[in-house]
Amino acid sequence: MPKVFIKTYGCQMNERDSEQVATMFIDGGYTMTDREHEADVILINTCSVREKAELKALGKMGLLTRRPEAKPHVVYGFMGCMAQSKGDELFRALPRLDLVIGTQKYHHIFRYVDDILRKRLERRMDDLSLSLAGSSVCDTDEETGSQNAIRDHLAQTGHSSAFVSIMQGCEMRCSYCIVPSTRGAERSRPMQDIIDEVESLVRQGIKEVTLLGQIVNRYGKDEHAVDGKSAFVRLLEQLNGIDGLERIRFTSPHPIGFREDLVNAYRYLPKLCSHIHFPMQSGSDRILKLMRRPYKNEKYISLCESMREARPDLAITTDIIVGFPGETEEDYLETKRAVERIGFDNAFIFQYSPRKDTPAAAMDGQLPQSVKEARNQDLLATVNAIAIEKNAALVGTEQLILVEGPSKTNADRLSGRTPQNKPVIIEGGSELIGKIVPVRITESTGFTLYGEIAPC
């Protein structure tokens, strides 16, 4: 049985796509391995959002293809956003590379790989001296219906939560972002397919699903609202009705298309978790306009306030870019003030990275690395102070924890998450994995909470 190693960079969408690819190899008689040196097939699923992510993937593939001990028949492939954006130029950078597969072609990877591997192994039996390198496939075309191909899952043994991809693509054209060109136009899956997938996951023991999409709340955007409810809210309602499913999350929504019906969903859908990851990007209206984000900071803040009114314990996390071209000190301070005013539970802060063929990369006022770094550090200190304070306020409260598995730092303890998506470490046996248990929070060490199972 040939062995496949997949390394994934980037977002949860990529994690999910890699899982889909893995299922296809398993169905085809291969096995997965997490040891790269024993693999017959090495795939890297790449991210293009920042230059750093691309460099990491290129560096990793460079190391893997140049290992002197590597077996000559090994098939090497790039998939994902960088594969889509760079295409066959990757073969010039890495002569030993065999495959470059774009974001709408994952369901063909198995066939391409299996074909190359078979030919190599057959030839090797005939003549060991034959050169085995040099076959190359680049497939980065668009494909109608490709969003429907991300639907299979690995066996869910020992897992309590799963990702479900409900739409692909983005048409927002934010001026800094490469995603519209790597992921293509917005395409949604049929609602019944998603419901069937979630029901099947629940039958396998899954308690929590996270719905994924580049702009997840634009799911089914071309469908008419029914009783004032968008397709996305109707999907949430349907999933809320599935017996055995306990928790629903989604990521990432955009303020555009975030209407009253979705805010209200936090009032009447008990399975919708009290956490939203809601990218703000900037607190300065001037910068938001340059970013081509079609909302003002006040609008973003009022949406956060409405959601908190609908669900008082809602945790809000966000993405923020610092050092966008032309960002003045005053623009940056507006972002910082917005962060303080909203009081995010946490935030990912990104230093602006110019991306290929995006309008912002050609804008005047590109900032030096030192300014980006200083704003990043300063904002991080603010974000962390608020996050620590929010976690400390949870000490003494009782939280329902979905137990995920052994803690990564100490395998004798268990780790789980609150509805607000905060990790909690508890003592307990493996029989608790996959269960939702009441826990009293006893301690917070800044970012990690500790608790003990509350007596019934």
**Binding residues for ligand SF4 (CB under 6 A):** 10-11, 13-14, 47-49, 80-81, 179, 182-183
- Give the contact letters, 125-164, x = binds to ligand 5AD (CB under 6 A), - = no: ----------------------------------------
CB of 103 or CB of 160, closer to ligand 5AD: 103
Tell me the pairing of strands 3-8 and 41-46: parallel
Position 84 contacts ligand 5AD (CB under 6 A): no
- Encoding tokens for residue 390? 């929010």
- Count of residues that interact with ligand 5AD, criterion CB under 6 A: 12
CB of 353 or CB of 420, closer to ligand 5AD: 353
Q: How many helices (H) and strands (E) does the chain have?
A: 13, 19
- Where is 393: in which H helix or E strand? none
Q: How far is CA 332 from CA 245, 249, 285, 326, 335, in A?
A: 42, 31, 11, 10, 5
Whether the CB-CB separation of 77 and 65 falls below 8 Å is answered with no
- Give the contact letters, 157-186, x = binds to ligand 5AD (CB under 6 A), - = no: -------------------xx---------
CB of 14 or CB of 318, closer to ligand SF4: 14
- Residue 64, Cβ neighbours under 10 Å: how many? 20
The single-letter code of the amino acid at 402 is L
Restricted to residues 36-75, the positions that interact with ligand 5AD (CB under 6 A) are 49-50
Tell me how far, at minimum, the Cβ of 177 lies from ligand SF4, in Å.
8
Which partner in ligand 5AD, ligand SF4, none is near 321 (CB below 5 to 8 A by kind)? ligand 5AD
CB of 24 or CB of 349, closer to ligand 5AD: 349
Restricted to residues 249-308, the positions that interact with ligand 5AD (CB under 6 A) are 279, 281
CB of 250 or CB of 266, closer to ligand SF4: 250
Which partner in ligand 5AD, ligand SF4, none is near 13 (CB below 5 to 8 A by kind)? ligand SF4
Which partner in ligand SF4, ligand 5AD, none is near 176 (CB below 5 to 8 A by kind)? ligand 5AD
The single-letter code of the amino acid at 423 is P
Tell me how far, at minimum, the Cβ of 353 lies from ligand SF4, in Å.
11
Tell me how far, at minimum, the Cβ of 208 lies from ligand 5AD, in Å.
22
Sheet holding 99-101, edge to edge: 31-32, 3-8, 41-46, 75-80, 99-101, 137-139
Whether the CB-CB separation of 285 and 318 falls below 8 Å is answered with no
Q: Taking the chain, what is the end-to-end CA distance rounded to the nearest angstrom?
A: 50
Whether the CB-CB separation of 316 and 345 falls below 8 Å is answered with yes
Restricted to residues 349-378, the positions that interact with ligand 5AD (CB under 6 A) are 350, 352-353, 355
Tell me how far, at minimum, the Cβ of 164 lies from ligand SF4, in Å.
16
Which partner in ligand 5AD, ligand SF4, none is near 14 (CB below 5 to 8 A by kind)? ligand SF4
- Where is 275: in which H helix or E strand? strand 275-277
Considering only 12-20, 93-101, 122-130, 348-356, which stretch makes contact with ligand 5AD by CB under 6 A?
348-356
Q: Which residue is nearest to ligand SF4 (CB)?
A: 10
Tell me the pairing of strands 208-212 and 161-165: parallel
- Encoding tokens for residue 334? 């507006």
User: What are the percentages of helix, strand and coil residues in the chain, rounded to 5?
Assistant: 40, 20, 40
Whether the CB-CB separation of 109 and 79 falls below 8 Å is answered with yes
CB of 281 or CB of 420, closer to ligand 5AD: 281
* Options 36, 143, 199, 319; binder of ligand 5AD; rule CB under 6 A: 319
Q: What is the 3-state secondary structure (H, E, C) of 45-65?
A: EECCCCHHHHHHHHHHHHHHH
Which partner in ligand SF4, ligand 5AD, none is near 47 (CB below 5 to 8 A by kind)? ligand SF4
Distance between CA 187 and CA 163 in Å, rounded?
17
CB of 105 or CB of 183, closer to ligand SF4: 183
- Encoding tokens for residue 185? 């136009």
Tell me how far, at minimum, the Cβ of 224 lies from ligand SF4, in Å.
28
CB of 30 or CB of 352, closer to ligand SF4: 352
Residues β-bridged to residue 405: 415
DSSP assignment, residue 225? P
- Encoding tokens for residue 446? 């800044």
CB of 5 or CB of 352, closer to ligand 5AD: 352
Residues that bind ligand 5AD (CB under 6 A): 49-50, 176-177, 279, 281, 319, 321, 350, 352-353, 355
